[in-house]
Amino acid sequence: MQYFGTEINKSTENALISALSSGRFPHTVILEGGNAEQRLTLARHLAAALVCKSEERPCLICNACKKAVSGSHADVSIFSPDSKGTVKNETAKNIVSSVGIIPNEADSSVFIIEEAHTLTVSAQNTLLKILEEPPRYAFFMLLCPIKTALLPTVISRAQVFFLGNADTDTSKLAPALDAAKNVMAALTAATDYEILEAAAVFEKDKELLKAAFPLMHEISVEAMKARGRMETDVRFGDIPQRLASKFTMERLIQTEKRIVTLARSLERNGNYNLIITRICTLLRSDTK
C-alpha cells in the first residue's frame, strides 16, 4: 500500500508514520531523493496528516485532508522557484512573515518549498531564523533531489527523509561537485601544486571528470556573475566570489573558454593523461 500516495523507501515510510503517530513530527524536514512529483505528493500527504481532524491521520477522507492533498488548504502553502529557477530571498521573507500568522482552519500551518536546492544563500539565511525557533504550530518541508545543495546550517536544523534513489544519476553528482569546487578553489591558490593536488582525483576516474566539467564551467560563469555583484548559485559556496576577487573579467572569460575546450577534448576522447595535465597548465597560465 502506498501510505503517502507514492512509492517511497520502506524504512523512510515507517519512520514517517511513526513520527506522525508519536505526535512529535519534526518542525523542519528535508524530503530528499525520488523525483519532483514524488516529493510533492509525499509533502502534501504529510501536510494532510498535520492538518487532519480525524483520529487516524491522514484519514484522506475528511475535508482538511482532501484540501491538503489537492493543494487548496488555507494552512498549507507551497513555494516554488521563480522563472529563473531559483527561490529568492523575497520568497523566504514572505514565508517568514506568514509564519507569524496563526493557522486559519487547522492546528498547524505547513510551508512546503519545492526544489529547495535552488534557494539562494540569502534566502536560506533568512529562513534560518525561523527554522531555529519555529512557532509550535509551524512545519517546514524542504524538497530536493540531494540535500548537499543546502547550507549545512539549514541541514543541521532539519530531519532528513530519503525517498529513494533520484531519477537522475546523483551517485556521481556529489563527488563531482566536490571535485569541481576543489579545482576551481585551487585556481585562487598561490602555487600550481594546489591544482595538481585537486585534479588528482580524476586520474583514475574519467566519469568523475565528465560529471565535473559542466560544474567547473558553471562555477566559472558564476564567478563572472560575482564580479558583477550578482547573487550566485549556493552549491558553489564562496568560490565564485573568491575567483571574482582574485581575477579580472578577461581572465575569468579566458578560464571559462578553457574549460569548454578541455571538456570538448574529453568528448573527442583526447589523450586522457594529457587532459589532466592541461587542467593544471591551461587553467593556470595567463598565456596560451
- Applying CB under 5 A, the residues found at the interface with Zn ion are 52, 54, 59, 62, 65
CB of 46 to Zn ion, least distance (A): 12
CB of 140 to Zn ion, least distance (A): 21
Name the residue nearer to Zn ion (CB basis): 56 or 82. 56
Name the residue nearer to Zn ion (CB basis): 45 or 278. 45
CB of 54 to Zn ion, least distance (A): 5
Strands 28-32 and 76-79, how do they pair? Answer: unpaired
Name the residue nearer to Zn ion (CB basis): 51 or 186. 51
Name the residue nearer to Zn ion (CB basis): 1 or 190. 1
CB of 111 to Zn ion, least distance (A): 19
3-class secondary structure per residue, the chain: CCCCCCCCCHHHHHHHHHHHHCCCCCCEEEEECCCHHHHHHHHHHHHHHHHCCCCCCCCCCCHHHHHHHHCCCCCEEEECCCCCCCECHHHHHHHHHHHCCCCCCCCCEEEEECCHHHECHHHHHHHHHHHHCCCCCEEEEEEECCHHHCCHHHHCCCEEEECCCCCCCCCCHHHHHHHHHHHHHHCCCCCHHHHHHHHHHHCCCHHHHHHHHHHHHHHHHHHHHHHCCCCCCHHHCCHHHHHHHHCCHHHHHHHHHHHHHHHHHHHCCCCHHHHHHHHHHHHHCCCC
CB of 275 to Zn ion, least distance (A): 58
CB of 60 to Zn ion, least distance (A): 6
Name the residue nearer to Zn ion (CB basis): 5 or 175. 5
Smallest CA-to-CA distance from 204 within 175, 182, 177 is with 175
Name the residue nearer to Zn ion (CB basis): 104 or 273. 104
Name the residue nearer to Zn ion (CB basis): 65 or 224. 65
CB of 51 to Zn ion, least distance (A): 8
